[in-house]
Chain A
Amino acid sequence: MASDNEQLNNVQDDAEAVEDIVNEDEKQESSIAKSEFCDLPHGEAMKFSETYRITASKRVNLILLAGEVGSGKTTLLSSLFHLYQRGPYVGYLFAGSDTLIGFERRCHPARTSSENAAPETHRTLRGNTKSFLHLRLRDKNTKYCSRELLIADLSGEDFAEASHSVDDAKRLVFIQRADHFVLLIDGDKIADSTSQRSARNKAMMLLRTLSDSGILTGDSNVDIVLSKWDIVHSRLQEDPSHQMFIDELNSDIDKKYGKRFARIRYFNIAARPSVTSSDIPLGYGLEQVLPSWVEDNKRTEHREYALNRQNASEFNCFAERVLRGK
Chain B
Amino acid sequence: MSKHKQFIMGLPGAGKTTFLAALWHVLESNEVDAKLKLHKVHTDHAYLESIRNLWLDAKEIDRTAISDEKYVSMLLKNGDDIAEIIFPDLSGESFRQQWAEREIANIHAEMLEGADGCLLFIHPDKVVDETLISEVNEIVLREEATSQEPEDPWDPIKSPTQVQLVELLQFSAYINKRRPIKLSIIVSAWDLLISKYQTPSQWTKKHLSLFWQYLTANPEIYETKYLGISAQGGGLDNADDLRKMTPSERIIVIDDDKKQSHDITLPISWIMEQ
Interface residues of A (CB under 8 A from B): 35-43, 82, 84-88, 93-98, 100-101, 104-105, 107-120, 136-138, 140, 146, 272-276, 282
Contacts and interface: CB of A to CB of B under 8 A. Distances in A.
Nearest to B134: A119
Query: B104, B131, B160, B167: which has the most chain A beta carbons within 10 Å?
Result: B167
A36 B213 CA distance: 33
26 contacts: A36-B105, A36-B107, A37-B105, A37-B106, A38-B103, A43-B102, A93-B213, A93-B216, A94-B210, A94-B217, A95-B217, A100-B163, A100-B166, A101-B156, A104-B154, A107-B130, A110-B132, A113-B131, A117-B141, A118-B133, A118-B141, A136-B217, A138-B217, A138-B218, A146-B217, A275-B138
Given A85-B160, A104-B156, A96 B170 contact: yes
B225 to A, nearest CB: 19
A85 B162 contact: yes
B171 interface: yes
Contacts of B138: 275
A57 B216 CA distance: 22
A86 B209 CA distance: 6
B158 interface: yes
Nearest to B97: A37
Contacts of B171: 40-41
Given A38-B106, A115-B149, 20 more contacts: A36-B105, A36-B107, A38-B103, A40-B103, A85-B162, A88-B213, A93-B216, A94-B217, A95-B218, A96-B166, A96-B217, A97-B166, A104-B159, A113-B130, A117-B133, A117-B141, A137-B217, A138-B218, A273-B134, A282-B132
B136 A112 contact: yes
A116 B151 contact: yes
Interface SS, B side: helix
B259 to A, nearest CB: 27
Contacts of B109: 38
B46 interface: no
B218 to A, nearest CB: 6
A108 B144 CA distance: 18
B152 A114 contact: yes
A96 B151 contact: no
Interface string B127-150: 000111111101001001100010
Query: A40, A82, A140: which has the most chain B beta carbons within 10 Å?
Result: A40
Nearest to B142: A117
Nearest to A94: B213
B151 A115 contact: yes
A276 B131 CA distance: 13
Interface residues of B, number: 41
Contacts of A98: 170
Interface string B244-262: 0000000000000000000
B103 A39 contact: yes
Nearest to B133: A119
B132 A95 contact: no
A116 B133 contact: yes
Query: A95, A104, A273: which has the most chain B beta carbons within 10 Å?
Result: A104
Contact of B213 (A42, A95, A273): A95
A276 B103 CA distance: 39
B132 A112 contact: yes
- The 5 closest A-B CB pairs, nearest first, are A117-B145, A95-B217, A138-B217, A93-B217, A108-B154
Contacts of B103: 37-40
A153 to B, nearest CB: 16
A113 B209 contact: no
B78 interface: no
A211 B243 CA distance: 77
B130 A85 contact: yes
B132 A104 contact: no
B207 to A, nearest CB: 11
Contacts of B163: 85, 100, 104
